[in-house]
A and B are shown apart, each in its own frame.
Chain A
Amino acid sequence: AQSVAQPEDQVNVAEGNPLTVKCTYSVSGNPYLFWYVQYPNRGLQFLLKYITGDNLVKGSYGFEAEFNKSQTSFHLKKPSALVSDSALYFCAVRAYSGTYKYIFGTGTRLKVLA
């Protein structure tokens, strides 16, 4: 079955420290992977994607993600966290079963402490 797992419901990090939000996936074929961020009472906003090429992908707001094919992971990272990064983060993978659909993880709440 095609799936996405975000093993941590919440991640706490001190402002200025590096952050990592984890994502693993299971999909047939080459994965198209996405990270989205959701602020309170808003829809999901696109951060970055991996389609092919360099395993380190850079995105919006200083975020980056590392694709690891052998570990089927796509972890979101940022070298120095800001309080304003506090939000809900979703990993998603594109899956194909007759047509393209997007499978989302359950989300990880990031809390950056001042």
Chain B
Amino acid sequence: NAGVTQTPKFQVLKTGQSMTLQCAQDMNHNSMYWYRQDPGMGLRLIYYSASEGTTDKGEVPNGYNVSRLNKREFSLRLESAAPSQTSVYFCASIGRGSEQPQHFGDGTRLSIL
């Protein structure tokens, strides 16, 4: 019963390095989301994908890119990491139906030095 799986769980990068965070869900959900969680700021939406083949910017998209590889997978890429991107990143998915709750992965803890 995997749900939403995120890899890696932890990562340390140097400023300027690039990295892709992976997310996969096995619930046949249409919509997927990437959030970042920072102390005192709750969850902020980076990008989302309402369905396979579509992606849109959220509240804080600068410095990130995404790919909806197929219905299962939604990746987040940092092209040139900056210390301000140190955060915990969560992927979420949601099934069909506007009243459904989101299902979250356990997060990727990313530190940029």
A residues at B contact (CB < 8 Å): 9, 32, 34, 36, 41-46, 49, 51, 90, 94, 99-102, 104-107
B45 touches A106 (CB 8 A): no
B residues at A contact (CB < 8 Å): 4, 31, 33, 35, 40-45, 48, 50, 56, 58, 90, 92, 98-99, 101-107
Contacts of A45 in B (CB 8 A): 104
Bound complex: CA of A27 vs CA of B42, how far in Å?
18
Contacts of B42 in A (CB 8 A): 90, 104-107
Bound complex: CA of A94 vs CA of B43, how far in Å?
14
Q: How far is the CB of B8 from chain A (nearest CB, A)?
A: 14
A43 touches B4 (CB 8 A): yes
Given contacts A44-B90, A90-B42, A107-B42, contact A99 B50 (CB under 8 A): yes
